[in-house]
Amino acid sequence: MDENAVLKARDVYRTNQIQTASREQLLLLTYDIGIRSCAMALDALENKDTEGTNQHLQKAQAVIRELMITLNVEQGGEVAQSLMSLYDYLYYQLVEANVHKNPEPVIQVKQMLEELRQTWVEAIDKLRQEAQPEAVTPSPAPVPVQTSAGGSLSGGFNLAG
């Protein structure tokens, strides 16, 4: 199979994965893209690939922007406000890393995205367990992710490009 066919097959797989994902899965996929973009930016920085560094850091910035616009600050209250402040900080760190070609902020952002992703995994699992009666086998049906203030995430995800 030639390289173009492999790339096309991968794109079709990704498109299907995104189109059939629950909100929770989309959130985790978004974090995965941000984490992967940071890792690729770090590789590009190490290889002195300025264009690649810029490309991957811009993609990571787009992920952070997407996380910011999908937050419902009105319903999410204090938790959503805190997340918004954190996302704003992470975005700024990525901009600074890109301007100065400094890997340290990218390392920090990547670690924080990994920790946030893990926190969401645990929250989603806990909500699914609480929503399941004890005697019933867990079903794959998605359960809305809610903040501790009772609000839920809103908005869509634009994972293309």
Give the domains, in start order, of the chain with CATH numbers: 10-123 (1.20.120.340)
What pLDDT score was predicted for residue 137?
54
pLDDT at residue 104, as a whole number: 98
Q: Which residues of the chain have pLDDT under 70?
A: 1, 11, 13-21, 133-161
pLDDT reported for residue 20:
64
Residues contacting residue 77 through CB under 8 Å, at least 6 positions apart: 147, 149, 150, 151
CB atoms within 10 A of CB 161: 6
As given in the structure block, the two tokens for residue 20 are 């059939």
In tens, the pLDDT along 120-151 reads 999 999 988 998 866 455 555 544 444 444 44
Rounded Cα gap, residues 84 and 60, in angstroms: 16
pTM above 0.75, yes or no: no
**HSE, side-chain direction, 13 A CA sphere, residue 159:** 21
